[in-house]
Amino acid sequence: MKPLVVVGDSMLDVDIEGAADRLSPEAPVPVVDVEHRWTRPGGAGLAAALAARSVAEVSLVTAIADDHDGRVLTHLLDQDARVVPMPLRGQTVRKTRVRAAGQSLLRLDTGDGTADGGSVSTAVIRALRAAGAILVADYGRGVAAHPEIRSLLTELARSVPVVWDPHPRGPAPTPGASLVSPNLKEARQFAPGYVEPDELAKVLRDEWAADSVVVTTGPNGAVLANGKRLTVVPVPAEIRIAGHVGSDTCGAGDRFASAATAALFDGSTVADAVSHAVHAAARFVAAGGAATLSTCDGAAVAVEDTTEACDAFEVAARVRARGGRLVATGGCFDLLHPGHVSLLRQARAMGDALVVCLNSDASVRRLKGPRRPIVTARDRARLLIALSSVDAVVVFDESSPSALLERLRPDVWVKGGDYAGVDLPEAAVIRGYGGQIALIPTVRGYSTTQLVAATQGCG
């Protein structure tokens, strides 16, 4: 099968998260105590990672620099796509968001890289000619403006679907694109003097000589100008209910464009592709946005086993890409016993994947006392992941998994029935994004505390 090819400017996205509960004595600004650091591909790289959740094979034509951030970015990109590099002049672009309590406090942009304007390689030409569909994810850094690439895109638009996600600092889409997808703010910049989405969609369709233009309008869905027909595509009511005010919309445009391209790749009409993309983007935002594709950094202090943490978020992303139901549960799971196994098996039956949020050794000590845990976090994780009911394990260091759940955002959070009537500290987080809490009856006669006491009694 031919690959879906993403063409555009990639960058490195970094999220630094922590607690901000005091002001600096030097200036009236919040002090952030860093707890987590996460990295992910941004720009066209994010679009490629999202496309990989929808199709079997993705190629990414993008400009890459041989610097530290470029090597980190390349490693992240290689997990989802076959990277076909172009040279980058300057440094890799990195966008760093500083966040606390789920809210962005500051964004720091570094790097001045732009795509080199010289002749493109044979590998780039071959990658584009092999495409079954093409997504141009333009971030104004020169890839979409490259003359040879533009000439190829104009030619290929006659035979394969081309979706163009434009940028105000980038060039106009090449003629003949199947679908161009500016958001409302961008559309108003492209067509000054026009305000309403329907007017903008029609004007831009004619100006760009595109088959169709869709103007995305955030929580209101999208307006599609397809030929002479105008169609309003709303966000499904059930997804709007599941979402919440303050959702992180980072990456929503990339999710929309990648989903639309994947649908056209599979043979959908433009109207059906847009409807599918509206649904996919809304689910993506409701589930946590681009943060769900982040990889834990080795410098993160709150996650003891980074490999397991990364696997957990990858599992979550795959489940959401399929429209599935993610279930999570948490605890110490020290001395795994039949009660644990029963809870995990029932929890897994509630959805399409189960992630276990496991208390670190330090967290267990705070909760259970200095003689616990009996089994280290690494070995507890290994035992859990060996169970057929468990799809991934992520270790957290706090006494409560609230911060982890804010990022993971499972559809269902499962606890044992012994927590009935207990005010769970993570409950506000779960209910805040529209998740559910389920209690499963415990198996009588089994607890780690009882097992430890029995063992000591036999000594």
Active site residues: 254
* Sequence-distant (≥ 6) Cβ neighbours of residue 144 within 8 angstroms: 7, 8, 9, 136, 138, 150, 164, 167, 170, 171
Q: Which residues pair with 133 in a beta bridge?
A: 4
Alpha carbon 283 to chain centroid, angstroms: 11
Phi, psi of 146 (to 5 degrees): -65, 125
Radius of gyration of the chain, Cα coordinates, nearest whole angstrom: 24
In angstroms, the CA 314 to CA 290 distance is 12
In angstroms, the CA 287 to CA 306 distance is 22
408 neighbors 396 (Cβ within 8 angstroms): no
* Sequence-distant (≥ 6) Cβ neighbours of residue 138 within 8 angstroms: 8, 9, 144, 164, 165, 166, 167, 170, 171
Question: Locate tokens 């993570």: which residue?
Answer: 426
Question: Locate tokens 């966008």: which residue?
Answer: 95
Using alpha carbons, list the distances in angstroms from residue 59 to 120, 266, 282, 317, 421.
16, 16, 25, 19, 51
DSSP state of 439: E
Sequence-ordered alpha helix ranges (H) in 209-305:
237-242, 252-265, 270-286
